[in-house]
Structure 1
Amino acid sequence: MQTFLRLQYEKPDELPSEFGHDIRTPESFVEEFVTEFSKDGDTVLDPFAGFGTTERSEGVGWGGCGAEAVRSRVGLLKGFAFQLPAHASRG
């Protein structure tokens, strides 16, 4: 019985300097856990959406719903390849 996972710890994008503490979860972690613990067509809730976990969930075929309380991170999200709803910067 396997009692551990070996995942690649890689962050392909550099964050702007004001986010130098870099608290993102690597995409490989997101992909592994979303794939393992959800079914096709599920929606992934990301309560800390500011660094792209929701975007990565959508990239592996799941819907994503994210919330971010830090306004500057909402602005950072606008640079990702997915479309944010118009109310995101107010939300």
Structure 2
Amino acid sequence: MKRSTTHIRTSLASSYIGKLCRHFRHKIETEYTETTGRAVFPQGICSMTAQPEMLVFEIEATNTEALEQIKGVLIRHLLKFSYKETLEIEWQDDY
């Protein structure tokens, strides 16, 4: 398994988790609470955690290409939902 993690500074982490999971649930399996989320993509799984002033994404995928696809989907949608603030997204890959 390939893994990647990012910690994104934001005070709206819980809100973004809810928006992402509600949006994705039309095409893939998702579940979420106030502080956690999980999205099951065909290529892998993304776990989401809302911490104080921080949004954490942890992705597990079968290969590097799948990992990059999931990252792309997450980033595109998160940037749409976060248009009111500038987010810095840096991934730490474990492959």
Where is the helix percentage greater, Structure 1 or Structure 2? 1
- Output the TM-score relative to the length of structure 1: 0.28
TM-score with structure 2 setting the length: 0.28
Which structure has more relative contact order (CA 8 Å, sep 6+)? It is 2
Larger Rg: 1
